[in-house]
Chains A and B, each alone.
Chain A
Amino acid sequence: MDIKFQRVGKKYESGQEALSQVSFHLQQGEMAFLTGHSGAGKSTLMKLMMMIERQTSGQILVDGVDLRTLSRRAIPQHRRRVGVVFQNHQLLFDRSIFHNVALPLQVGGADPQQIAKRVRAALDKVGLLDKEKQNPMALSGGEQQRVGIARAVVNKPQLLLADEPTGNLDPKLSAEIMNLFQEFNRVGVTVLIASHDLALVARMRHRVLTLNQGRMVNDGGFG
């Protein structure tokens, strides 16, 4: 997925300006990090990409399509092309790991055999195939995060967004998670990871976008 922000601004009704004049171009198959202090606008930027929020100025082009032209009814279809991983996992504890991962496929109305095949492929990918029947509550933080990643990629998204995916994890687990993202990127998925773990970001040697008080202050390579 090819994403282009052109002088994008987001002003909340409270008057708070979360983003202003943000421009960048994330090309198809690219991987980048988004850094900045908390409150710098990282989450807002991701919400704009997910169409959870709408920008108040500027233009967001996704594969050349202006997101402003998409109606409310088109939002679900857009979200099915984007996989998201959150720091707080957003897993459902009333169902097994298998059914958590299956959710994006069920929502799209895939047939059960197809769902089972894809869910197992995704769980295999994150190394949790043997735990598919367990409740996510029984897993460690790192494992829960991996379930979240499996759910984000099960639908074969064209864009993978991760908001602080390593927030609660120790360095070793963080590195494992990052390696996973890298693997997805290697097969062509556009990846954007928001993180304030600058040391980890630096080690990954990818493009880094830095936000400060809603403005893009740095856009370039690290190291």
Chain B
Amino acid sequence: MAQKPNQRGATRESVKPTQHSWSKSSSFSLGKYLRLHQTTLTESFLRLLTYPLASIMTVMVVAIALSLPGGLYVVLKNVQSVTDQWEQQSVITLYLFPTLEDTQALALSHRISAQDDVASVEYISKEEGLRYFEQSSGYEQILSSLPENPLPIVLRVIPKGAVEIDTLPKLQALRDQLANQNEVEHAELDAQWLQRLANILSFGQRFVYGLSVLLVVAVFLIVGNTIRMAVESRRDEVLVMKLVGATDAYIRRPFLYMGFWFGILGGFLASLCILGLSWWVSVPAERLIELYQSGFQLQTFNADEIVLSLLVSAFVGVTGAWIAVSRHIASIELQ
């Protein structure tokens, strides 16, 4: 070889096996470990940029899959906040026994209105009830043909506080308590609309949760499949790394970071999509709110939820990559 003479010196230094200076670099240190991770983090990101189209497509699929449950979550959040602000009073109607005297009924009325959880009690005597019934039902003739007034004394109990879904059990408890009074023949809580709404909301919630689970699984599969193909396309590299003594963990690491990037970029894009959609619907929504003159404000993704969705998507990305990569790398064996 032509340049041999001036290479000798370098050789003696660099190849002498007895020096064992390599043993120092193969010992564990935290700094080395962190540096390795930092390098892998940036390198795996740069690698995504070498296949920009494929990377962008994967990120977008992840983003769309994540923005669906995210968007539904925002819708649900808004519906909930609308119902929270519906300050509608509910009424418990007590039908007393027809045999009851006015004095007894009045005493009961006073007793109930003294309760902490009751705002007011409206006393409707038999006569008032009859008058009201005649006015509203159109059954005057039938009613007047009856020998006596068949209607009982009625107490309309207005509970304290606004009606919300959370307070529904409390109202039901109050109704039960009032129904147990000796004078009361029948008690009715006029909150059917609230119960219906609660059911619709819990249906919506389950629907969103179920759909979220499905779509998160889809993200697992998307990331997993992309990573599996990335491993396959770098098969030669994996083989050479195994040959020169790379641990499986070392080989796995860049792919896990790749999954991390797919996840977190997908999550970021999904958050942007949701914010964009919220902004898009905000104009007609605000007009609608104005019409109803309600104090309601359109809810969108807040900072906490964005951070949470980024964390979740990054986690899903890494886990998807892990599942795909672990078995695949072990299966690539030197021949």
Contacts and interface: CB of A to CB of B under 8 A. Distances in A.
- Is B a genuine binding partner of A? yes
A108 B25 contact: yes
Contacts of A153: 14-15
B15 A125 contact: yes
A121 B14 contact: yes
Contact of B245 (A73, A108, A184): A108
Measured as residues with beta carbon below 8 angstroms from the partner, the interface class of chain A is 35 or more
A196 interface: no
A151 B250 CA distance: 18
B240 interface: yes
A155 B22 contact: yes
B92 to A, nearest CB: 71
Contacts of B12: 187
A186 B269 CA distance: 60
Interface in A146-189: 151, 153, 155-158, 176, 179-180, 183-184, 187-189
A90 B22 contact: no
Q: Which of A77, A84, A92 has the most B CB atoms < 10 Å from its CB?
A: A92
Contacts of A158: 17
Nearest to B1: A176
Contacts of A94: 237
Contacts of B19: 156
A52 B21 CA distance: 26
Contacts of A124: 7, 10
A78 B178 CA distance: 82
B246 interface: yes
B237 A92 contact: yes
Contacts of A103: 240-241, 244
B72 interface: no
B22 A156 contact: yes
Nearest to A52: B334
Interface string A47-60: 10010100000000
A209 to B, nearest CB: 22
Contact of A187 (B11, B21, B240, B243): B11
Interface residues of B, number: 39
A185 B249 CA distance: 33
Given A90-B239, A155-B22, A125 B11 contact: yes
B243 A121 contact: no
Nearest to A94: B237
Interface string B1-36: 111100110111111111101100110000011011
B22 to A, nearest CB: 6
B236 interface: yes
B247 interface: yes
A121 B19 CA distance: 15
A107 B7 contact: no
A50 B161 CA distance: 78
Nearest to B50: A94
Interface of B: 1-4, 7-8, 10-19, 21-22, 25-26, 32-33, 35-36, 236-237, 239-247, 250, 333-335
Given A114-B25, A155-B244, A157-B17, 18 more contacts: A76-B242, A76-B246, A77-B245, A78-B245, A79-B243, A80-B22, A103-B241, A107-B247, A108-B245, A111-B32, A118-B14, A125-B7, A125-B11, A127-B4, A176-B1, A179-B4, A183-B11, A189-B15
15 contacts: A76-B245, A76-B246, A77-B245, A90-B239, A92-B237, A103-B240, A104-B245, A105-B25, A107-B241, A153-B15, A155-B22, A180-B1, A183-B11, A187-B17, A188-B17
Interface of A: 47, 50, 52, 73, 76-80, 84, 90, 92, 94, 103-105, 107-111, 114, 118, 121-122, 124-125, 127, 151, 153, 155-158, 176, 179-180, 183-184, 187-189
